Amino acid sequence: MSMCSVVLKNVSFRYMNQKDFALKNVNLHIKENEFVLILGESGSGKSTLGYLICGLAPNLIPGKVRGEILIDGIDVNSLNKRELIQKVNMLLQDPDAQLTYLTVEDELKFPMENVGVDEEEIKLRTDYLLKKFDLSKLRDTYVFNLSYGQKQRTCIASILALDPKIIILDEPLSHQDEVARKRIIDFLKEMKGKRTIIVMEHRAHALLKLCDRVVVLEKGCVKLNCSVNEALKVGIANNFNLNDLTKIFPKRSRFMRSRKAILVVRDLWFTYDGRNYILAGVNFKLNKGDLAFIIGPNGAGKSTLGMVLSGMLSPHKGTILVNGINIGSRKVNRGICYVPQNPDLVFLHDTLYEDVLNSALKSMDLKRGRKFTRELIKAFNLWHLRNNDPHSLSRGERVRAAIAIMSALKPRVLIADEPFSGQDKRNIIAIMNCLNYLRERYGITIIIITHEADLAKSIGDKVFLMKNGKLYGEITCTS
C-alpha cells in the first residue's frame, strides 16, 4: 500500500478577525505521487487548504487552526522553513505576492542557492525550466515588466526548481493563453506519478482526465472525495465546466448601441525601455455602449494598452480621442477607467462603501454621491458587504468591488483586465451581469481583456486580436 504524503485529521481553520471557519473538520489522505484535483466554488476553502498543507497558515497567514496536518508522517508545523520548502511548495493565485527577486532568472536561481543546490545543478535546472515554460527569452527581464501570465509561469518554474516532493498549484491556468495552458498541462502529464500533485482549478474539464482523484469542497467542508470515474458519473464535469458560458449570457441584440464613436485610437506607440515597443501602431474605434473584447497571447501588450488608454502610462506617440476630444497625455478627467488584474490595487479605504463613495464624490455632491453609491453597490450585489474591508472579500467579490469603485467615477469607457481569471462559473456570470448593467443603465462602453476567446467571440460586439504589440482587425466567430 502506498504511503500517504499528506494527511489532514479533523482540520479546521479560521482567519484572524473572521467570525466563520474557512475550513471545517476536513479529513483527507493523499497518497505518495497521487494527482488530486480540488474543486469548489470561490470561497469554498480550496486556497486555505493549500496554505495549511504548505505551512503558510498559520505561520505567515495568521489564524486559528485545529486538528493535525502531517507531511510524510511529520507534523507540518514542526518542520523548519528549509525542510518544508523542499518537501512541499505552492503556487499562489496572485503571482505578485510570490515574486521576490529582480529578474526571471533570479527567481529560479536564488531559492536553489539558499537551500544549498550546487552551481552546476542550478544551471541545469534553470535552463530546463526556462525552456519548459517558454521563459528563455525573458530570463534577464525584470519581473515587474512581465505580463501576468508570464509572472505566473515564472512562479511555477521557481517552485519546481526546488524539486519538492509535493507540488500545490492554485489556479495554474487562470492567467494563461491557450498555448501556455497546454504547455502547463503537458508538463503535469510528465510529472504525474513522479510527484504528489495537488491542483485547485476552476477549469475541471482541462484536468479531470489527467488526475487520479477528485475532492470537492463546499463551504469549507469536503462534499465529495472520489475517483475520476465516480466524479464523472455524478456530473462533476458539468458542474465545473466553463466551456458552456457562451450559452448563458445575452446575445448582442439585447443592448441598444449608439453609432456615435466614443473612443478612437490612432497610431498608438509605447515602450518601457526606449527600444522595444510594447504597442506598435495600435488603431481601433468603439461606439457608445459597445462591448469589446481584446484577446491574445501572454505578453502581447493587452494590459499595457489598457494602462496607456487610462493614463497610467504615457504613450510615445499617437492619438486618443474620447467623445471627439483629444485627451493627449492628460492623466485626469480622461473619461477612461482601468480595472487592473489585481483588484486590490483599487482599494484605498477601510470599507467598500467608503471606496465607492469617494469615487462618486469626484463628480457629484454628497447627497447625490450617497444615492449613487447605494445604487451601484446594490446593483453589484455587494450591499451586505458594504462595511467590510474590501481586501477581506473573496476574489469574485473583490473584482466586482473594483469595477463598482471605478464605475462610480462615471467614465465613458471602462476597461476590465482579466476579470474572469481564477473565477468560478457563478462569479463569471455575476461579473458579466455587472458590466452589462453599466452598459444598459449608463451607456458605458466596456472593454474586456481576456483569454476567454470563445466567450468573447460569442457575446462581444467587437473582438480584437492583439499580438506583438499590434491590434488586428475585428475577429468574427468564424475567423
Whether residues 218 and 283 share a domain: the answer is no
Whether residues 255 and 230 share a domain: the answer is no
Average pLDDT, the chain: 90
Contact yes or no for 459/428 (Cβ under 8 A): no
Contact yes or no for 199/172 (Cβ under 8 A): yes
Q: Which amino acid is at 38?
A: I
Single out the residue in 241, 275, 300 at which a domain terminates.
Answer: 241
Question: Residues 10, 77, 393, CA angle at the centre, nearest 5°?
Answer: 65
Single out the residue in 218, 241, 264 at which a domain terminates.
Answer: 241
- Return the CATH number at 260: 3.40.50.300
Order of strands, edge to edge, in the sheet holding 4-15? 23-31, 4-15, 63-71, 74-75
pLDDT of residue 474 exceeding 90: no
Identify the sign of the CA torsion 108, 112, 113, 115.
positive
Whether residues 276 and 413 share a domain: the answer is yes
Q: φ, ψ for residue 458 (rounded to 5)? A: -80, -40
Whether residues 222 and 276 share a domain: the answer is no
Single out the residue in 181, 210, 241 at which a domain terminates.
Answer: 241
**What does the pLDDT look like over 374-408, one tens digit per residue?**
999 999 989 999 999 998 887 778 899 999 999 99
Query: Percentage of the chain with pLDDT > 90?
Result: 69
HSE-up of 327 (CA within 13 Å, CB side)?
Answer: 24
Residue range of the domain that includes 462: 246-476
Contact yes or no for 36/197 (Cβ under 8 A): yes
**What does the pLDDT look like over 192-233, one tens digit per residue?**
999 999 999 988 888 988 999 999 999 999 999 999 989 888
- The Cα 291–Cα 308 span in angstroms is 19
- The Cα 294–Cα 186 span in angstroms is 27
Copy the grid coordinates of residue 281.
501602431
- The Cα 174–Cα 218 span in angstroms is 21
pTM for the structure as a whole: 0.86
Beta strands in 228-361 (DSSP E): 261-271, 277-287, 291-295, 317-322, 325-326, 336-339
Whether residues 342 and 328 share a domain: the answer is yes
Question: How many domains does the chain fold into?
Answer: 2
